Amino acid sequence: MSKQLQERKINRFFDVLDPDGAGALTLPTMLGIGDRYARIRGYASTSAEAQRLRAALEQFWKTVISPMDIDGDQRVTRQEHLQRMTAALADPQQAREFHATGDAFFDFADVNGDGHLVKDEYVDLFSVGCGLARRDAIQAFQRLDPQNRGYLDLNQWRKLIEEFFASTDPDAPGNWLYGTY
């Protein structure tokens, strides 16, 4: 893939995890995504669903994001993220491991746990949780679900993750995983 396309996608992934535009990913920022998402889906902060989201995000932070913290200051800057992601994706073994973390993300996004990431869940997560314009999130979902089934399942999600991080095709539907990029 062209270096620019890959960089754009990696930076896009950073942006959705940094809705406040702080320029660095931190655990509290990520927990904030889960809290807003739970609230908009109607789950009280004490509910099992909201607790599950927090646990999933803590796990995601611990296993995926915080290892990118090169200088150990508990913040993963855009530069650290880009450097580590670029290296990881260039290594087939690491790339596979990274794609596998997409399963955890799916579990998180499918907040009611019915195995379907329905359009409303997707749109709420990326607009209310991650700060995309609602219109952009809706448009992105339509690209990800060209047959208009109204949901994504885990197999589709895996394919889209693969496309997002590995496809050299600027028109691959998976490029839209995290909205416009």
Query: Which of 156, 76, 77 is CA-nearest to residue 116?
Result: 156
- Shortest CB 52 distance to Ca ion, Å: 13
- Nearer to Ca ion (CB atom), residue 26 or residue 167: 26
Residue 35 touches Ca ion, criterion: CB under 5 A: no
- Nearer to Ca ion (CB atom), residue 2 or residue 148: 148
∠ CA(138), CA(142), CA(148), 5° rounding?
A: 125
Q: How far apart are CA 49 and CA 52, in angstroms?
A: 5
Could you tell me how many residues of this chain bind Ca ion (CB under 5 A)? 8
Residue 124 touches Ca ion, criterion: CB under 5 A: no
Size of the chain in residues: 181
x/- binding map, residues 71-110, to Ca ion, per CB under 5 A? x-x-x----------------------------------x
Q: How far apart are CA 37 and CA 131, in angstroms?
A: 11
- Nearer to Ca ion (CB atom), residue 22 or residue 180: 22
∠ CA(78), CA(83), CA(86), 5° rounding?
A: 115
Torsion of CA 125, 130, 135, 140, to 10 degrees: -70
Q: Which of 91, 97, 103, 114 binds Ca ion (CB under 5 A)?
A: 114
Q: How far apart are CA 99 and CA 119, in angstroms?
A: 22
- Segment interacting with Ca ion (CB under 5 A) among 38-46, 116-124, 153-161, 167-175: 116-124
Q: How far apart are CA 176 and CA 129, in angstroms?
A: 17
Q: Which of 47, 86, 112, 168 binds Ca ion (CB under 5 A)?
A: 112
- Nearer to Ca ion (CB atom), residue 20 or residue 71: 71
Q: Which of 18, 69, 124, 145 binds Ca ion (CB under 5 A)?
A: 69
Using CB under 5 A, list all residues that contact Ca ion: 69, 71, 73, 75, 110, 112, 114, 116
